[in-house]
Amino acid sequence: MLVKRAKLDNNYKKKYDLWICNELENIIETNNYKIVHAYLPMGKEINISPLLKNLLQKNITIVIPKTLPKYQLENRILTSLTDIEKGVFGTTHPANSKEYKGNFDLIIVPGLAFDNNNYRLGYGGGYYDNFLVHYPFASKIGIFYPEQEVLKVPTEKHDIRLDKILINRFLKRKH
């Protein structure tokens, strides 16, 4: 899946990423979400930076994970897209930021693959499953390219099913 995602046409990727940002912003506004857990994109993940920039301007609290040892995430409040630092495994997170320990209205979840039962395959560390289990009332939306769909994601007891997978099968792409 990493190779498949890396081979996506850049113009298609930019258009698709912008579509995801717009859809997420509509969901956030429609539901009046005030506290959003998101991520800072790495590699060829869906670039949600335009969404994060807009949410910061609207005074929505954005929380970004810092990857810790033992499959744990520390949640940090994002105040700027420029005041960030490198973490483990190629991740980035807010620098000199306060830790956030409250609840979330929405959790935006990245991943490598998904199926039509709303299960996702992450990068293999179980970080998000260990995190999501603590927030049963937050809306959990996975964002993916259609090319990342598989027939069935292998699941285990601890895997958390997402509430929704946000994809657009109709956006034109070049092969």
The DSSP symbol for 169 reads S
- Local structure of residue 78 (DSSP, 8 states): E
Q: What is the Cα 35 distance to its own chain's centre?
A: 14
pTM over 0.85: yes
User: Which residues on adjacent β-strands are paired with residue 30?
Assistant: none
| pLDDT the model gives residue 36 | 98
The encoded tokens of residue 116 equal 């039509």
Least confident of 52-66, 98-112, 118-132: 118-132
Rounded-to-integer distance, Cα 20 and Cα 15, Å? 9
Sorted by where each starts, the structural domains of the chain and their CATH numbers stand as 2-72+85-140 (3.40.50.10420)
Q: Per residue in 133-162, pLDDT tens?
A: 999 999 999 999 999 999 999 988 888 999
For residue 94, report the phi and psi dihedrals to the nearest 5 degrees.
-60, 135
With cut-offs at 50, 70 and 90, classify the pLDDT of residue 174.
low
pLDDT of residue 161: 94
How high is the pLDDT of residue 175? 46
Q: In the predicted model, what is the mean pLDDT of residues 56-63?
A: 96
Alpha-carbon distances of 162 from 18, 51, 121, rounded to whole Å = 22, 20, 11
Model confidence over 87-110: pLDDT tens digits? 877 788 899 778 999 999 999 999
Are 43 and 65 within 8 A, CB to CB? no
